[in-house]
Chains A and B, each alone.
Chain A
């Protein structure tokens, strides 16, 4: 009978013993964190669509480390650093998630696919109700995206890293992923994880911000729903195709994002039901699932031990907080500009986490006044926020790439 080395048999444990103490501790912490994400995702505290696959991926990749050779340790999940063609061809045949990473993740395709899905579930008509008011709110709600940039530079990040983490203020996951992939590939994993983690917490955190900044009597203001114009499909499609062409003309570097979003919008309005079903269900949920799974798998101990991660955590929450405050200020601006007839709570919906922030706004208004319906206006601000975030991402990528 051959000699059986127990540590060789159970290589996950053997690599834990053989690695440096900091790496071993980080691996154990990440396994625990992955399990916690799954638990919180199942419970609904964090976004289950992202957090369940991310948590499973995170726990699995940090547990499943093995000896690749006598001196190197690694996994058979993914090798994000493989860029040399020969090496890439080799890992494509070994690492089981490498094809998805190489062909959809590292080129930003997955962000575009998610954006296409978001386009198809977005009713652009809401934005056409009061376009200038919605845009004022959306621009104000980018306060965090803009102000976090110099704050991040002051904290020691370079321009590209600063712009990528500042995009968390736009509260749009695919946008953060796209910007960080374009500007700083080294930090795109922690930045995107920070973004999705905080975006999941928007639903829990923003109500407190609304209650803190807007007095009860203003939160209950009723919006006039009789003035909402009927927007025809032709108008929506015309708007989508014209805006898409103009934005692609202005910012070719972000053209894939604009095209994906507006293509989704046009497909929805053209009522091609089979394609709508495909984009809305298969493509959107499939892309979101693999986005979560790959982010989890990319979350290895070495990534998280980067000293910049703590800075990113601080900057991420700063960006979202500033954007929330900016949105509420935008709400107040429109409130005063319309002779105090506009509910300032709508301002929070300018933060473009579709449709979470619009839902948060409506929930807070309902808590004060059961007859106050603001959702059409909130969705208008929300969709304007998506467009404004995409414009801002395009400006950052164009200027800093």
Chain B
């Protein structure tokens, strides 16, 4: 029983760590997406400006 409880305690940082890691990865996807879109928009604008 004690081992069973210790097992659950050991599992705790794994579960929380992986959850946090994947969650921040999702946030990273959003940031990356914004960065890519703004880069493309800026590039587009720069191109338009240089054309002008």
Contact, CB under 8 Å: B12 / A387: no
B20 within 8 A of A: yes
Contact of A132 with B27 at beta-carbon distance under 8 Å, contacts A146-B12, A149-B11 already known: yes
B46 within 8 A of A: no
Contact, CB under 8 Å: A391 / B19: yes
Contact of A146 with B33 at beta-carbon distance under 8 Å, contacts A134-B27, A159-B8, A399-B11 already known: no
Chain B contacts to A: CB under 8 angstroms:
4-5, 7-9, 11-12, 15-16, 18-20, 22-27, 29-31, 33-34, 37
Contact, CB under 8 Å: B33 / A238: yes
> For the complex, what is the distance from the CA of A135 to the CA of B16, rounded to whole Å?
13
User: Which residue among B12, B16, B25, B30 has the maximum number of chain A CB atoms within 10 Å of its CB?
Assistant: B30
User: Which residue among A135, A229, A396 has the maximum number of chain B CB atoms within 10 Å of its CB?
Assistant: A135
| Chain A facing B: main interface SS | helix
| Chain B facing A: main interface SS | helix
Contact, CB under 8 Å: A235 / B23: no
Which of B11, B22, B37 contacts A391, CB < 8 Å? B22
Chain B residue at minimal CB-CB distance from A156: B1
Which of B8, B18, B26 contacts A243, CB < 8 Å? B26
> For the complex, what is the distance from the CA of A65 to the CA of B23, rounded to whole Å?
48
> For the complex, what is the distance from the CA of A399 to the CA of B7, rounded to whole Å?
13
Contact of A242 with B33 at beta-carbon distance under 8 Å, contacts A149-B11, A150-B5, A154-B5 already known: yes
| Complex interface: chain A residues within 8 A of B4 (CB) | 153, 158-159
Chain A residue at minimal CB-CB distance from B10: A150
| Complex interface: chain A residues within 8 A of B31 (CB) | 131-132
Q: 0/1 per residue, A44-85, Cβ < 8 Å to B?
A: 000000000000000000000000000000000000000000
A selection of 15 A-B contacts at a CB cut-off of 8 Å is A127-B30, A128-B34, A131-B27, A135-B24, A146-B12, A146-B15, A146-B16, A147-B12, A150-B8, A154-B8, A235-B37, A239-B29, A247-B26, A388-B19, A392-B15
| Complex interface: chain B residues within 8 A of A184 (CB) | none
Top 3 nearest A-B pairs by Cβ distance? A131-B27, A153-B8, A150-B8
Contact, CB under 8 Å: B19 / A142: yes
Q: 0/1 per residue, A226-238, Cβ < 8 Å to B?
A: 0001000001001
| Complex interface: chain B residues within 8 A of A250 (CB) | 22
Contact of A149 with B12 at beta-carbon distance under 8 Å, contacts A395-B18, A395-B19 already known: yes
Chain A interface, number of residues (Cβ within 8 angstroms): 35
| Complex interface: chain A residues within 8 A of B20 (CB) | 139
Contacting residues of chain A (241-264) with chain B, CB-CB under 8 angstroms: 242-243, 246-247, 250
A138 within 8 A of B: yes
A162 within 8 A of B: yes
> For the complex, what is the distance from the CA of A5 to the CA of B23, rounded to whole Å?
65
Which of B15, B26, B29, B33 contacts A399, CB < 8 Å? B15
| Complex interface: chain B residues within 8 A of A128 (CB) | 30, 34
| Complex interface: chain A residues within 8 A of B15 (CB) | 146, 149, 392, 395-396, 399
| Complex interface: chain B residues within 8 A of A127 (CB) | 30
| Complex interface: chain B residues within 8 A of A288 (CB) | none
> For the complex, what is the distance from the CA of A384 to the CA of B46, rounded to whole Å?
35
Chain B residue at minimal CB-CB distance from A149: B8
Chain A residue at minimal CB-CB distance from B9: A150
CB distance from B1 to the nearest CB of A (A): 8
> For the complex, what is the distance from the CA of A139 to the CA of B5, rounded to whole Å?
23
13 extra interface residue pairs, beta carbon distance < 8 Å, beyond A132-B24, A138-B23: A131-B30, A147-B12, A149-B11, A149-B12, A150-B9, A153-B5, A153-B7, A235-B34, A239-B29, A239-B33, A388-B23, A395-B18, A396-B15
